[in-house]
Amino acid sequence: MDSDAQWAEGARQFQQLWGDSWNKLLQSMPPADLGAMTAMMQPHNQLSVSPEKFTELQQNFLKEMQLLIASSVQESGKPLTDRRFTGDGWSKNPVATSIASAYMLQSKTLMGMVDAVQADEKTKARIRFGVEQWVAAMSPSNFLAFNADAQKMAVETQGESIAKGMANLLHDMRQGHISMTDESQFEVGRNVATTEGAVVFENDYFQLLEYKPLTAKVYERPFLLVPPCINKFYILDLQPENSLIRHLVAEGHRTFVVSWRNPDESMAQRTWDEYIQNAVIKAIETVQDISGAEQINTLGFCVGGTMLVNALGVLQARGESPVASATLLTALVDFTDTGILDVFIDENFVRYREMQMGHGGLMKGQDLASTFSFLRPNDLVWNYVVGNYLKGETPPAFDLLYWNSDSTNLPGPWYAWYLRNFYLENNLPKPGGVTVCGEQLDLSEVNLPMYIYGSREDHIVPIQGAYASTQVFPGKKRFVMGASGHIAGVINPPAKKKRSYWVQPQTKFPSSFDDWLASATEHPGSWWTDWSEWLGGHGGKQIAAPKTYGKGTKYKAQEPAPGSYVKQKA
């Protein structure tokens, strides 16, 4: 075959590789959501790749493949840099090394095709996300026939690893999700969520937990935490040494926490308005009633922060000001920058969800958990497929991953309204842009001190999205950026002396996050120390700590913390 024919054959194979990859990607989507997802990813205009860029990719692919074939024998012992292929089984097996190297080259070429697509940024982001999913799924490490490490382990254990892997697979099929940790090692209330307290109020939406003081005196203003209702509150109370709740109690704050009910079919009709009025506002009023305080301090984490802001807007519109300060942790108020989750959001997708569950139904917790896991497919999906099933390993006990697997449902009307008004139309920061509990919200009138925290590597609430809240509220604000991601950045107790945080001394906030960062100063350790000092300044005077939970017979202790709602399974 002459060189021109070889080139033509190479081009044909490359185009077939791309076409087959795209078709398999679409076929691999879950059947229940295939219509919505394909509609979502359908470009408005014909996609194209510049001929010059296409030719460059072809040339690079063929050149690197030739080099790979030529060097496969000489460099069979060369370690691979991708951690999926770092075991001895890969590096000491020439065939396995060649397979892994070819996969990495093909992956790089496919991603190069994505980068070369001529389209708007959102369309390119969607294509990139889809191709990344397929590339991650098709790694040779995910298949026993190609995974040299798993084969080596099977030989060494005389097949025991395969038997254990099958048992792990059957176990996970029965429980309905991939095991990320040894869940048998944890029990809510026994070795996670163990800070001492009691349930002092409950309704259909939440239980209100009050925690036992650890100091003789407490601040006169009690503190209420509103966690996200898309997962369980005990991420803030995993172990005593990393519990934000215990930290608050030890700092002298009379602490209350909303523990959300895990919705079942009886709550399938519940709306966003009902959650704001009957849960967040009700929790604020109940803490006031129990403590007798004119004002309380509050915190909203993630979606809990968005809900808290809605409640503050409703109360402001009603002429009420029961909240002295608010802390927002990795929370979105302005949804202009929603990071990787933006690939899911457009009119077609939101309308599909509205038709599916906007008037009733449940957004299943496992579907939500799977979506978040596939945002990092190699770390949170395929890593466990390989370890649990191909190698027959039991994942180590890890409290955070136990919490991550303890999913919660959402009422369909709540979820559909949230998608349209916030993620799609970004109505919340617009004065009068959204009506909640019969009130038109204008957050520019919500004037109270705020502590706003964002995590630098957060892929769910990008740091720019967290910072955008500084442009919405008129009151005195403090913005802090912590290192790491959505959870690890928040759960960073001072005693660990890990990571760092950034603050800047100015009280005015430029519109650009980059401009803020340019004048910010890095400090070693946890942002909790900075926040504790700020929060103490809003706690009021010191008073004697209460001797009992709740207040009288109306708010008496009903059961020990963490209560029964948090133990309900989706």
Residue by residue, DSSP assigns 263-280 as --GGGTT--HHHHIIIII
The pairing of beta strand 435-436 with beta strand 439-440: antiparallel
C-alpha distances in Å from residue 528, one per residue of 23, 465, 532: 48, 21, 6
Q: Mind telling me the catalytic residues?
A: 302
Cis bond leading into 140, ω under 30°? Answer: no
- Number of separate helices (H) and strands (E) present in the chain: 21, 19
φ, ψ of residue 341 in degrees (nearest 5)? -65, -15
> What letter would DSSP give residue 407?
-
Chain-centroid distance of CA 516 in Å reads 25
Residue by residue, DSSP assigns 89-111 as HHHT-HHHHHHHHHHHHHHHHHH
Q: How far apart are CA 357 and CA 271, in angstroms?
A: 11
Closest CA to 248 of 226, 224, 220, 283: 224
The encoded tokens of residue 132 equal 């990344």
C-alpha distances in Å from residue 65, one per residue of 97, 111, 146, 319, 563: 14, 16, 19, 70, 60
Chain-centroid distance of CA 345 in Å reads 16
Contacts of residue 12, defined as CB under 8 A and 6 or more positions apart, other chains included, come to: none
